[in-house]
A and B are shown apart, each in its own frame.
Chain A
Amino acid sequence: MRGNSCSLLTAGQDEEHEYGLQDYASATPRWCPGCGDHGILTGVQRVLEAEQLPPEQTVFVSGIGCASRLPHYVKTYGFHGIHGRALPVATGIKLHRPELNVFVVMGDGDCCSIGAGHWIHAIRYNIDMVVLLLDNEIYGLTKNQTSPTTPQGFPSNTQPRGSYLPPLNPLVTTLGVSNASFVAQTADWAPAHVFEVIRAAYRHPGFAFVRILQRCPQYTTAIFDSAVRDPSLVEMLVHENGVIVPELQGIYKNQRRHDPSNLDQARRLAEDVEPVRLGIFYRNEDRPRYEETRHVPPHSVEDRLRLLNKEFDRHAL
């Protein structure tokens, strides 16, 4: 999402006012201690601050699930809707009010299961919004059921002898849909990286999809534990057109230069589960955006009535 549309609005309000982190803080989060969502929330708030987004011009839209509580904890406008349906709501908001900054927050059940149809089509629309998939690879709020991204063999309450199916890979899926324009992955345990990737997503003009690997201390610690403990299992995708986080270079020694304009390579890199790759896989600012393609200038009441009379003439006896 680009910042230019709202910078004009900030200028009009109070040029002296500078937003600090506290301006974006709302209710105290009620996530479990140790939940990856806490760090992601901080990363999001830091981006809001860094980009100086006016809270009243910003809307966080979510579905249902642990991740979807995030709008309650950000002091902007928020829309905490129904399970799987954040994207249609966000689409409606942007079609009507393209000047608003829209962030969508979904969990893996939300995005990849019940709302998967909307996800595929939202990628095609390529409407300018930041889309965060907080992927803990399990249903948390409903207490430990297998999700589409749960690793094969991983036990849960609904599949106690282990998940039956190979997991769905959200990066591969997103990259496979025509008109995809921004696909990235980050991990809650690398907060500096979370910040940079979400900021890059915000600055991208189009549907910026970020999968965030998110630890669930209740149910899926085992899934992420090794990558959290052993940075050598992680590979950073770096490029001047992607993200480079200098303070992480000492920790994550595996660095791969990947040009995010290379879609074929992005798809190949996204296929691998190991190493865990963090960075921007794909970015293309030239993809058509639905809200621009469909943009119609609003009409005054007088104009509309005049045109309506003209339309009546066509049906007049």
Chain B
Amino acid sequence: MTETPSTSAPDGGAAGVAPPEPRLIKLSEHTIEIVSDPGEGAQKCGQIFGQVSARMGNGVWTVEIIPAEIQPPARSPAGGSGNRIRIGSGPVTNWGDQAGLVVAFNEQVLLGRHRLDALSDDAIILLDSLWSRHDDERIREEWQKGMKELAGRSYRLIEVPIEEACLEIVDTPRRGKNMFVLGMLACLYQRDVALIMDLIAQSFRKKSPDVVKINHDLLDLGYRWANDNLDFRFDVPATKPEGPMLVTNGNQAVALGAIAAGMDLCAMYPITPATSVSHYLSDIFEEFGGMVHQAEDEIAAAGVAIGASYAGKVAFTVTSGPGLALKTEFLGLAVMGEIPLVVVDVQRGGPSTGLPTKVEQSDLLAALFGQPGDAPRVVIAPATIDECFHLMITARRIAETFRCVVIVLSDANLASGVQPYPRPEVDPRWMAGPIDQSPVAQGARPFDWDPDTGLSHRIIPGQPGGMHTLTGLAHDESSEIAYDPDAHERGCAMRSRKLAVIQKALRPPALHGDPDGDLLVVGWGSTKGAIEEAVDRARAEGYRVSSTNITFLSPLQPGLKEIFGRFNRVMTVEINYSDAPDAPYITPENRRMGQLAWLLRANTLVDVDCWTRVPGQPLRPGRIHEVIRNVLLKGRTA
């Protein structure tokens, strides 16, 4: 299965052999992986390939392949770093199933992907041939062993002298191979080379013109090598989207959304995979009159945001699961003191340190209930990168209007996923108004709860006549400490009532597919795209299946029970843990369900089933499709 193109000279055509007439493979979508040792730049290569594809009008979804360590040992299967890019003729909403083309800088990182079953059976692999004839005997042995392992599949493996070719131009190919590979991909997918050169120049704008030139030369070299040596090309036709589009990842969208919402302060402590929100904001926030405060710990980050919110303008803090746990007590205070606050939790695998760089949706119940005492708060989950932007505006507005804590549950899949989305039209109504500094009316109290809605008008420091002490102790309308039974009952009811009022303003979730049928798949957050693609495939086969994605988890969107009643079965699909129903000791009585399933069962009394997995990866549409078919054919998920 290993092949070495006949023309091995790096400059192509040197042997005087005419380039083979390439076969043009027409596809509606294709998934490409580029994987290297960390520091070799596969990610940059993948990002630029994704960008240029998006600009040419392809639907694109890009995800990072990222080890937990900064510089794990070279040539290790678990240490691979890079990108998966899925491009399509129409919009692409998820990372797809298996890759059809993989470029690997060494056979070990390739094995890492192979072992994760990331490659389709007929995948084409472009692998640096350097290692097969390396000076080090141990490396040659590893190569041989690797080839044996890969031989079990029907991949088409093509050896490419990537490093050898690059050495024509650079001394240390560690920093050049990615551009050579980008050149190959540009040729194979017929990308706009001038646009790529622009993007390279932009990417290296802080470096010298020489650096840009070298990278352009490497790009050209890769392009020519592919052109002269590879006998296939891919054609994934693009359809230009209507209207202007932006391309960002989810964390950038969160940051832009915070700016659009008029927030001025992001208090944070470094934690993967949330931190890149603050990296991006640190770069640009001050231009907007805002600042990122890197606090001494997660708890302080919550405290600083709460202090700033209390003093006038809603602030936000961004974290991941372990950080959310640490902030718990402060969130309780914000609930008790009715201090508006936005908390972004970019979820990763847990519990404990868990899977720091990998996706999971297992903070849902912690976001809802992870708190001693009754601490109602709003929990919303963006399903797309577009929603990462818009839900920040929603979150700020709800926090302010309802004097409450809003938790935005993003995840590692959205955080680093890159996708084009419609360019938002900026709207001054998104922004927070000026801080109220007017005198407080005689007799007005800091918690003048409307007895029906629980709503009260916030009094802000600086307002004459409004002096009071906000407290985390049980208190009455005047914020006086109150231990009598009625006062605490009333306070709890008022804080809880606000969620019911918010629910009044919500619409039932939209259905993807028919309004009734045999199966309804319910998801939340970033699994939306994969679930809908799976539903589409099943529907094309005649199955009566629909899906829905729930944005508001607390309060839950209305109408769920009625919608569920129109389907024979209801099942959640989530990236969190649930017991397999047929596992030892597991009975319907003790089975621990997926987190959304648990919530839906409690709220609707409908017998909602679940299929959940915690692979540290986004779910594949193909796998969900299989589950849907199993459920409908055999009555069980497996």
Contacts and interface: CB of A to CB of B under 8 A. Distances in A.
Interface of A: 13, 26-27, 54-57, 59-61, 64, 71-72, 75-82, 85, 87-97, 100, 117-118, 120-121, 294, 296-299, 301-305, 307-309, 311-312, 315-317
A297 to B, nearest CB: 6
Given A13-B464, A95-B304, 11 more contacts: A56-B466, A77-B466, A78-B467, A93-B461, A118-B297, A301-B428, A305-B426, A308-B288, A316-B245, A317-B244, A317-B246
B288 A315 contact: no
A78 B468 contact: yes
B627 interface: no
A85 B299 contact: yes
B265 A82 contact: no
Interface stretch (B65-73, B311-319, B564-572): B311-319
Interface string B406-434: 00000000000000100110101001000
Given A72-B481, A308-B426, A316-B246, A96 B311 contact: yes
Interface in B282-314: 284, 286-291, 293, 295-297, 299-313
Contacts of A59: 311, 461
The A contact surface, by secondary structure, is: helix
Given A77-B469, A85-B299, A96 B265 contact: yes
B463 interface: yes
A56 B463 contact: yes
A103 to B, nearest CB: 12
Nearest to B293: A95
- Residue of B248, B306, B428 with most chain A CB atoms under a 10 A cut-off: B306
The B contact surface, by secondary structure, is: mixed
Given A56-B464, A79-B469, A312-B423, A97 B260 contact: no
29 contacts: A13-B464, A57-B461, A71-B469, A72-B469, A75-B467, A79-B307, A80-B471, A82-B329, A82-B333, A82-B472, A88-B295, A88-B303, A92-B303, A95-B304, A95-B308, A96-B312, A97-B461, A97-B462, A118-B299, A120-B296, A296-B286, A298-B264, A299-B288, A312-B246, A315-B252, A317-B54, A317-B244, A317-B246, A317-B420
Given A95-B265, A316-B246, A317-B54, A81 B472 contact: yes
B292 to A, nearest CB: 9
B618 interface: no
B245 A317 contact: yes
A294 B291 contact: yes
A100 B473 CA distance: 24
B267 interface: yes
Contacts of B260: 308
Nearest to B471: A80
B330 interface: yes
B277 interface: no
Contacts of B303: 81, 85, 87-89, 91-92, 118
Contacts of B297: 117-118
Contacts of A92: 265, 267, 303-311, 315
Contact of A315 (B246, B267, B307, B330): B246
A312 B309 CA distance: 27
Nearest to A90: B307
Interface of B: 54-55, 241, 244-248, 252, 256, 259-260, 262, 264-265, 267, 284, 286-291, 293, 295-297, 299-313, 315, 329-330, 332-333, 420, 423-424, 426, 428, 431, 461-473, 480-481
A302 B427 CA distance: 10
A75 B423 CA distance: 49
B288 A95 contact: no
A56 B469 contact: no
Contact of B55 (A55, A303, A307, A317): A317
Contacts of A61: 307
Contacts of A301: 262, 428, 431
Contacts of A311: 256, 259, 284
Contacts of B310: 79, 89, 92-93
Contacts of A77: 461, 466-469
Of all A-B residue pairs in the complex, the 5 with the closest CB atoms, nearest first, are: A92-B307, A88-B303, A78-B469, A299-B289, A121-B296
Contacts of B330: 82, 85
B461 A118 contact: no
Given A55-B467, A82-B333, A317-B246, A308 B461 contact: no
Contacts of A97: 311-312, 461-462
A93 B435 CA distance: 13
A74 B111 CA distance: 68
A204 B289 CA distance: 27
A79 B470 contact: yes
- Residue of A97, A308, A312, A317 with most chain B CB atoms under a 10 A cut-off: A317
A307 B287 contact: yes
A80 B302 CA distance: 16
Given A60-B469, A97-B461, A305-B428, A298 B247 contact: no
Contacts of A317: 54-55, 241, 244-247, 420
A97 B310 CA distance: 10
Contacts of B306: 81, 88-89, 92
Contacts of A298: 264, 289
B465 A56 contact: yes
- Residue of A78, A89, A298, A304 with most chain B CB atoms under a 10 A cut-off: A89
